[in-house]
Amino acid sequence: MTEENGFRAKSKVQLVLEQITRNGTLNSSEFPFLIAKAEEEDDRTFSRKPLMWSFHSRNYFNAFNKLKDQDIDPLMLRFFIRKTIYFRKKATSFDKNINPGFSSSCLGLSYLELAKDIPSIERICFKKGINYLKKAIEEASSLERKQKQLILSYVGQSFLNFYFKQIPNLILNKTIPESDLENLVYGIACNEMSESYTPSRESFKLRSKGYRCLNLVARKTNGQKIIDATRRILDKGSNGRKYFYNYRGGLKEIAYLRGENLSEKVELLTLEKSIKAFNQVDHLKDYINSSTKGNLCLEIGNFITKNEKIIQKEGLETKVSDLFNILGLEINKENKGLDNLAFFAYKKSVEFLEESRKFGNNRRENNSKLGEAYYYLAEYATSIEKYKILFKSIINYGLCNPFHNSIMNYQSIGRQFYNLQHLSKEDFDINPEITPLKIKNALLESINEEVEKLGKSRISKKDIEREFSSILGLLDNSPNLGLELQMNFMENASNAFLKGARAHDQSPDNKSYRGCSMLHVARLNNYIKRYSPDQMREKLEDAENNLRSALEERVKEQPNDLYKDYSRLAECQFRLALATFDISRKNNLCEASIANNKSAKKLLEEKKIKVNPQIYSFIADAHQRLAETSYERSLKRLHLGETIRNFSLAAKAGDDFPENRSKKGGSIIELLKIESRDGVNRENLLKRIKEAKETLEEGNLLNEKRKGHFVYPFVLLYYLSKDIEENQIKGFSKENLSELGLKPPVEYMKDVFKIYSSNKNWAVKALSESANFVFESADNYGLLEDTFILKRGNHEGLLKEMKSTEEARGHLMKIPEKGYLTPKPLDIFDHQDHDERVSGSYYAMSMKKGITLDNFLSNERKSSDEKSEVLKNVIDYLAFIHANIQIETSEFKFERGREDIFNRLNRLKESGISIDSLEISNILSNYSVIEESLKKSLLVFNKDAHPKNWIVSSDNHIVALDFEGGIIPQAYDLVKLLEFGESIDFGQKDELLIQYVNSYNKYKPDSNLDFDKFKLEYLNLTLHKAFTFISGYSKQKSTDWNKNIFVSIENARKSLNYIENNLSSDPRYKNLEISLDNIYQLLKQ
């Protein structure tokens, strides 16, 4: 190969690169060898090295530009850029006058490409790139006009290409440095100055993009910044040189803008310039034309919806309509008016962007903009169609895009799910046509429609369904489908904002939305209990941190809606206080919540905006919680007074929630008790009673009006009536109830039960292992510290349980420091109903909230030390009950146990277990060894102590449930407690038995309970429990139930092994062991 007129002859490097770009494929294993060989041959062939290096640099850069949008290994693309820089630097170091301007602009653009590609060196490459580009302009000043304009074109292209992708992320984080804004303006100025030389399609396309970036800056931040940056660039240029002294481009109009509403004027002007530049592009690809038209229609729609009042004030309607005319879109009569114009803009945007996708445009930018267009179009839709459009918006914002990891997409997806939750909640309340099942079906339809449009894409239907799996996986027949749907919407929102944060979105918007989404999860969790208190506390801690950080940043900016940040943080702090156990931390959070709500209230009053009643309600709520933890009577009275006052202000501001009337009524009752003890005169106490009664009755009326199922006004009226009946309010007694307009307490219990029948605010569940039905209130509003319970049963049996509970409460007053609790007995009443399933006698009680002991012990989030401490307290509490509660008779025949086992084992045959009659006879004959051991057992009150009959509160207080009574051998309650599952190992049981014996001897000093005898009794009762439990096996029962049977057998085997090795050589134990093994094998089969 020879040199011919400089570099007209093609080099080997150029030929290799042309072949690669022509084929559009690159073999990464062969390429380095081929290109190295080509460079070596060129080096031997060409004598003018600087020109050869310069030419190599240009060839590598051209190859990069042609291959960057294709499926090429990013490492190889980076290789092209590095080669571009290497050869360009080599050429200029040898001869500084080679290609002045072009060399610097090529280096500048190369470094900017590296800045986009390698985050670790982004800053360094970016700085070098900008400096080289500005150096190119300086070098171009000495060139002839034609060359100068070519350099300007090259520099403009570099700036605009780079900032078109950078500006949206800078805006998202609200951190646009002046230098970046100037560089964007600089790029547009260079582009327009080069127009007479390069009026190319690419030039106009980039100018349209540049003005769209300025439009985005004006819309999201401040138009004055653009005006100032434009004036600085056009006045001086860089380093004081007036490169733009003869500038006649569109930026000049921006620089001369004056008057009011500058941001809106800049926004309209930049949008117009972007559309005009676009219309001058000679489009070669249909999808580019459609995509850009779709983007511009979207910007027009956004401009109209954001600036409707200013457009009308400034008389800009005609100018806005002209934007459609410039795009070649005809405005019909039905599209007249700003609202219709906006709808027309969004509709056309969707059409153009969908059209672009039909031509094969599945690029990230197109999908994201289509998502945005669908989002705004949904505002004009109604009924279920609105949900379909919103789902399409989410899909297009990122789920149909294999590269959906941009910060803006995460935030957009998060906001969509956030809005879906609010929309569905509102529709479920007021629109009977919208059902959760219809929303699920709308999602499936949207997925199917969008997948069909995608055509050949990297994303499949399964990929999209996987992203929506939490929603699609909900059971259609779930009774809480609506609430679960809302919860999943909000959780998806939270996850999207979290992904944004991980992608370095530290904007206050992201933090605020993330915090708010967790707040909504906390609200919904009150109903469907998806998360434990510990998990919810962690989520609220995270929400509080995000909301506080967002507020701190927004305070510096002083936006118009700053009051929202204060009120959101205040609500979060209050909810976190409810979930916090530490009293000091709880009080600090309540005080912070009050302070932030007051700041929100102050800002609203300054702006002359009506104060939201919720602000008053949360101030009242926080004062109510502070009253609960206040030990000084004067401080408690102060907080209760503030609670009542703020709930009254909330009602005056339009609050119509019955739960808030209940909270206010409850606080009035508490204040009434304190004032009664403090000797307040009868007249003032009478006023308090009437105020409480009227407030709670108003709550009942509001509940009826809302067709709700709220029980707490009646519960609190019960407490008020009961306190008066029992002379707890000084100067008032049972005889005064009628004149006060109050019913007897038991009548309010019946009212509660009538509301229970609707079963909306009540969870029906087996709170304990009681054979009777137990109904527990779902306290969705944190009104009462205790859970309210109704238990159905035999009237005499319920009276007996109530008496035993009251006896236990009396004894517990001896050890208040232990914090041991029982349910608080309220009343027993009879209810007759047309539905026989709910007719009967009911025992009303309240108890401290918490979780059952078995759930506590199986909770992996609890430490072993915490579990051990709680279990020791339960053992100590059980010893106290056995030592103190009297039993009615000492008669107890253990022989009944043998008869019971005979009947139970025979019942196994009904479950298909072919147990031999001889095996049953062997068990009964050997069972005498257990009877003999137990005949000397001490008999105690039957607490029925299995783990489901104990409640562990959030502050680890122990509540003993189910005092139905009866008589049992002393160790049997321990067997029920410790042999229930696998959570307690055999070695640990010894320690707990020792503790029980010590505690019992402490609470009953004259007993002198012997540990060895007690342990043998315990082990024998373990065997008894296993045989009685075995008979409960059934193929129809739950897996957990049958699993417990096998656990019981295994525990009995360990007991037998211990007895035979350490305590007794009686052969009957060995025979029982053989029988157990036989039954075990039968059950296994």
Residue 481 DSSP SS3: helix
Q: Chain-wide mean pLDDT for the chain?
A: 79
CA dist 930 to 709, 923, 973, 1018, 1021, Å? 53, 11, 17, 11, 8
Looking at the predicted structure, is the pLDDT value of residue 403 above 50?
no
pLDDT at 123: 62
In DSSP notation, 673-684 reads HHHHHTT--HHH
* Total count of residues recorded for the chain: 1085
Average the pLDDT over each of 150-154, 432-436, 710-714, 721-725 and give the range with the smallest value: 150-154
Residue 846 DSSP SS3: strand
Structure token pair of residue 393 = 């918006």
Tell me the C-alpha distance between 85 and 54, whole Å.
10
pLDDT at 288: 64
Q: DSSP assignment, residue 330?
A: P
pLDDT at 760: 44
Structure confidence at residue 437 as a pLDDT band (50, 70, 90): confident
> Using only C-alpha atoms, what is the Rg of the chain?
39
Tell me the C-alpha distance between 626 and 638, whole Å.
10
pLDDT at 762: 45
Tell me the C-alpha distance between 702 and 756, whole Å.
17
Structure confidence at residue 774 as a pLDDT band (50, 70, 90): low
CA 145 to chain centre: 60
Tell me the C-alpha distance between 741 and 784, whole Å.
24
pLDDT at 757: 61
Q: DSSP assignment, residue 708?
A: -
Residues 624-649, mean pLDDT to the nearest whole number: 92
Answer left, alpha or beta for residue 132, where phi above 0 means left and psi between -120 and 50 means alpha.
alpha
Tell me the C-alpha distance between 179 and 1016, whole Å.
85
With the CA atoms of 317, 318, 322 and 323 taken in that order, what torsion angle do they form, in degrees rounded to the nearest 10? Answer: -20
CA 878 to chain centre: 41
Looking at the predicted structure, is the pLDDT value of residue 477 above 70?
yes
Average the pLDDT over each of 250-259, 423-432, 601-610, 1042-1051 and give the range with the smallest value: 1042-1051
**What pTM was computed for the model?**
0.69
pLDDT at 950: 93
Q: Which residues pair with 443 in a beta bridge?
A: none
Q: CB–CB of 579/537 below 8 Å?
A: yes
Amino acid type, 728: Q
Q: CB–CB of 841/943 below 8 Å?
A: no
Structure confidence at residue 674 as a pLDDT band (50, 70, 90): very high
Tell me the C-alpha distance between 1029 and 898, whole Å.
13
Q: CB–CB of 705/697 below 8 Å?
A: no
Structure token pair of residue 424 = 């569905």
Average the pLDDT over each of 194-208, 415-429, 470-484 and give the range with the smallest value: 194-208
pLDDT at 424: 84
Place of tokens 């109209």: 304
Q: CB–CB of 596/623 below 8 Å?
A: no
Residues 60-85, mean pLDDT to the nearest whole number: 73
Q: Where is pLDDT greater, at 967 or 924?
A: 967
Strand (E) or helix (H) holding 850: strand 850-852
pLDDT at 371: 85
To the nearest whole percent, how much of the chain has pLDDT over 70? 79
Looking at the predicted structure, is the pLDDT value of residue 400 above 60?
no
pLDDT digits (tens, 9 = 90+) for 558-590: 888 899 999 999 999 998 998 887 889 999 999
Looking at the predicted structure, is the pLDDT value of residue 1037 above 70?
no
Q: Parallel, antiparallel, or unpaired: how do β-strands 820-821 and 958-960 relate?
A: parallel
pLDDT at 626: 94
pLDDT digits (tens, 9 = 90+) for 218-245: 777 777 888 888 888 777 654 444 556 5
Tell me the C-alpha distance between 661 and 434, whole Å.
30
Looking at the predicted structure, is the pLDDT value of residue 695 above 90?
yes
To the nearest whole percent, how much of the chain has pLDDT over 90? 19
**For residue 305, which of 385, 219, 371 has the smallest C-alpha distance?**
219
Residue 939 DSSP SS3: strand
Tell me the C-alpha distance between 434 and 431, whole Å.
6
pLDDT digits (tens, 9 = 90+) for 84-128: 777 777 766 765 666 666 677 677 667 666 666 555 556 676 677
Q: Where is pLDDT greater, at 866 or 478?
A: 866
Tell me the C-alpha distance between 968 and 977, whole Å.
14
Structure token pair of residue 1074 = 């053989």
Looking at the predicted structure, is the pLDDT value of residue 216 above 90?
no
Looking at the predicted structure, is the pLDDT value of residue 457 above 90?
no
Return the sign of the alpha-carbon dihedral for residues 1076, 1038, 874, 842.
negative
Looking at the predicted structure, is the pLDDT value of residue 83 above 90?
no
Q: Where is pLDDT greater, at 32 or 807?
A: 807
Return the sign of the alpha-carbon dihedral for residues 55, 57, 63, 69.
negative
Structure token pair of residue 889 = 């008779």
Looking at the predicted structure, is the pLDDT value of residue 69 above 70?
no
**Among 3.20.20.70, 3.90.1200.10, 3.30.2270.10, 1.20.1730.10, what is the CATH number of 864-1084?**
3.90.1200.10
Domain 754-851 CATH assignment equals 1.10.10 = no
Spell out the domain ranges in the chain: 145-280, 283-361, 380-506, 754-851, 864-1084
Tell me the C-alpha distance between 941 and 956, whole Å.
25
Tell me the C-alpha distance between 1009 and 936, whole Å.
12
Tell me the C-alpha distance between 964 and 824, whole Å.
15
Residues 1011-1034, mean pLDDT to the nearest whole number: 79
How crowded is the C-beta side of 141, counted as CA atoms within 13 Å?
14
Structure confidence at residue 402 as a pLDDT band (50, 70, 90): very low
Q: Which residues contact 265 (CB under 8 A, 6 or more apart)?
A: 223, 257, 259, 314
pLDDT at 240: 41
Q: Which residues pair with 734 in a beta bridge?
A: none
Tell me the C-alpha distance between 305 and 324, whole Å.
15
Structure token pair of residue 802 = 């109530």
Tell me the C-alpha distance between 491 and 418, whole Å.
9
Q: CB–CB of 545/508 below 8 Å?
A: no
Looking at the predicted structure, is the pLDDT value of residue 896 above 60?
no
Structure token pair of residue 202 = 């690419």
pLDDT digits (tens, 9 = 90+) for 255-297: 888 877 778 888 888 888 888 877 776 554 555 678 888 888 8
Percentages helix, strand, coil for the chain (3-state, rounded to 5) are 70, 5, 25
**For residue 806, which of 789, 792, 826 has the smallest C-alpha distance?**
826
**For residue 652, which of 625, 620, 624 has the smallest C-alpha distance?**
620
